[in-house]
Chains A and B, each alone.
Chain A
């Protein structure tokens, strides 16, 4: 045996390996594209709000949102100081525009929120789970495909910060105090239980 044929063989097999990698990669890419196009053209993805996300889709969409909020928050300026006036202004806005979907201490969401996927979360814990700049970014910009509108569309940045101030204060507002605030605001107490949730339409 001489060295030359072996080296040639080695070179050939390396080239073959590289080629098969490239071809395999291209094929996988094409398959993904074709598969994606098939889903789009046949409507094979379950877009119904009446069924829950699969674990994979639930994880992927929620985690993407968390990371996007983190990135977006990096470009948000510092939070103004949280004052009583800001909390009160934030409460009035929250009670009028947010509570239907997000509820409050001892206050249920509107019954139809159970028909949303994803279903809007209660926010008593929000200031413990998100930084202020993240809350600001989420409220101001909204979140696509969740039902959360961009409230910056109809509000100034200081008004959005008022909502953040309210969320920061929320863990310290007892259900009883919250009820008093709503009464002072003249909010009609929603009938808490049980109308449509029991009878989901087929």
Chain B
């Protein structure tokens, strides 16, 4: 059901926004520069390879290069800003028992992190 709703809404968005238009993160209040600092602070790089983040070379979770082009978040959520923010804040709620801890990011911080990830294409 979530899939269907997300799919329909992204179809609607895709219908209106031409290719190469402003990236999605510009519209949901995230700042990629702040996100980059937040990623360092939260030590995302201990488990993920993240282009553009110093020493982010962990291989516990998936590499996050070209994240903007990914279809799913963690293989279970459609890769939309809203779902990504949800995942970033509460991965244990989405997929209980996966290795990624809840990050303790605030809503704004999660938006900033998402904005950074959406610069990776």
Of A111, A117, A124, A179, which is in contact with the most chain B CB atoms at under 10 Å from its CB?
A124
Q: How large is the interface on A (under 10, 10 to 19, 20 to 34, 35 or more residues)?
A: 35 or more
In the complex, chain A residues whose CB is within 8 Å of the CB of B58: 122, 124-125, 129
Complex: A70 Cα to B109 Cα, angstroms: 36
Q: Is the CB of A52 within 8 A of B102?
A: no
Residue A58 lies at the interface, judged by CB distance under 8 Å to chain B: yes
Q: Are B89 and A194 in contact (CB under 8 A)?
A: yes
List, in ascending order, chain B residues with CB within 8 A of A119's CB: 40-43
User: Is B94 located at the chain interface by the 8 A CB criterion?
Assistant: no
Query: Which residue of the partner chain, among B41, B43, B102, contacts A193 with CB atoms under 8 Å?
Result: B102
A119-B40, A122-B43, A125-B59 as given contacts; A194 in contact with B97, CB under 8 Å: no
Does A175 reach chain B (CB closer than 8 Å)?
yes
A199 interface residue (CB < 8 Å to B): yes
* Contact of A158 with B by CB under 8 A: no
B46 adjacent to A122 (CB under 8 Å): yes
B50-88 contacts to A, CB under 8 A, are 54-55, 57-60
On whether A114 and B41 interact (CB within 8 A), knowing A106-B98, A125-B46, A198-B107, the answer reads: yes
Cβ of B7 within 8 Å of any chain A Cβ, yes or no, is no
A86 to chain B, nearest CB (A): 23
- Cβ contact within 8 Å between A108 and B104: yes
- Closest CB-CB distance, A102 to chain B, in whole Å? 9
Contact of A194 among B47, B100, B106 (CB under 8 A): B106
* Chain B CB within 8 A of A29 CB: no
Contacting residues, chain A, for B41 (C-beta < 8 A): 52, 114, 117, 119
In the complex, what distance in Å separates the CA atom of A106 from the CA atom of B107?
Answer: 20
Q: Which residues of A contact B106 (CB under 8 A)?
A: 194, 197-199
B97/A193 in contact, CB under 8 A: no
Q: Smallest CB–CB gap between A129 and chain B, Å?
A: 8
Tell which of A58, A62, A103, A192 touches B92, judged by Cβ atoms closer than 8 Å.
A192
Contacts of A128 in B (CB 8 A): 59
Residues of B within 8 A of A (CB): 37, 40-43, 45-47, 54-55, 57-60, 89-90, 92, 97-109
The 18 sampled A-B contact pairs (Cβ below 8 Å) are A59-B54, A103-B101, A104-B101, A105-B99, A107-B101, A119-B42, A120-B43, A121-B43, A122-B47, A125-B60, A129-B57, A175-B98, A179-B97, A192-B92, A192-B101, A193-B104, A198-B108, A198-B109
